[in-house]
Amino acid sequence: MNHRPRRNRKSKAIRNMVQETTLCTADFIYPLFVVDGSKIKQEIPSMPNVFRWSVDLLLNEIEECIQLGINSFVLFPAVDDKLKDQMASYSYHSDNFYLAAISKIKTTFPEICLMSDVAMDPYSSDGHDGLVDNGEIINDKTLPILSKMSIAQAQAGIDIIGPSDMMDGRIGFIREELDKKGYHNTSIMSYTAKYASAFYGPFRDALDSAPKNGDKKTYQMNPSNKKEALIEAELDSLEGADFLMIKPALCYLDVIQLLKNNFELPISAYNVSGEYSMIHAAAKNGWLDYNASFQEALLSIKRAGADVILSYFAKDFAKLNS
């Protein structure tokens, strides 16, 4: 035998030397949930160890993450039902606690990278990402709402806007409106290939944001489609996105690889709530080793081609690797 591939696996030192993919804490964006009020830390039942925080306690949490080497965060608001309406008008209201939280976090920790969520669902009485009229999601009337939300977040000091709504043309529309207001330096990470997935369930519990009627299949992508991801990526690139995201990550590793091979922009992948909760549930039953399985899942996302990973596992990863 001339070839014995096992020789390159014979010791830890050699295995480490020939390792092709390496994860590091800087690869991650850590998602955080914020609520109005003070002294609040509520665990989300379907997401062990993930909390809804009021901003006072969230600052301590961010400080702890920074100590562990995490410097990038994405923030989602859990909004009281009373503040929700058909137009999601609270999303850009001047007394919005989410916008206040963005300012507070960025003034306390100016060096971190903070990303937002842009979509109507956390603020919409219909629980949809776009404007609902007679049961239909109205694309073009949603765009000005998304851009008002984006401008308000830019004004609050956000580093990266994260449109997660999947309306057509929204990246170009938002980019133009941000630039008109002088926010040329506010980046856009587009949820480019966001699939209509069953794995968002725990997140919708966290925000109480599930659609009141119907599903999201007229705007989020069909899980069977791959070429369509190329169309979305082409449009987002032309419209001025700074990053292209694939979401979820684990069931869509082929799509991550496809976009990585076809586009020059940084590729990000969202390791979503259901992907987090299922590993936790199996580990709790003693069916999987938690530390080994979540790190293997994250490694597969990077190996597929993700430059950036949004993951609820980021803090546990940092604890094990710093």
Residues that bind ligand PBG (CB under 6 A): 117, 119, 121, 129, 164, 200, 203-204, 216, 272-273
Which CB sits closer to ligand PBG, 97 or 199?
199
Q: For the purposes of burial, counting CB atoms within 10 Å of the CB of 79, is it exposed (0-12), middle (13-18) or buried (19 or more)?
A: buried
Q: Of residues 84, 104, 216, 247, which has the active-site annotation?
A: 247
User: Cβ 12 to ligand PBG, closest distance in Å?
Assistant: 34
Answer yes or no: 84 catalytic.
Answer: no
Q: Of residues 104, 194, 216, 315, which has the active-site annotation?
A: 194
Could you tell me which residues come within 8 angstroms of residue 302 by beta carbon, excluding any fewer than 6 positions away? 21, 23, 27, 309
The Cα 197–Cα 276 span in angstroms is 14
Angle at 79 between CA 75 and CA 80, to 5 degrees: 160
Range 127-157 burial, b when 16+ CB lie within 10 A, else e = bbbbbbeeeebebeebbebbbbbbbbbbbbb
Which CB sits closer to ligand PBG, 156 or 207?
207
Answer yes or no: 194 catalytic.
Answer: yes
Which CB sits closer to ligand PBG, 136 or 179?
136
The Cα 136–Cα 209 span in angstroms is 18
Which CB sits closer to ligand PBG, 88 or 156?
88
User: Cβ 119 to ligand PBG, closest distance in Å?
Assistant: 3
Give catalytic residues, as residue numbers.
Answer: 194, 247
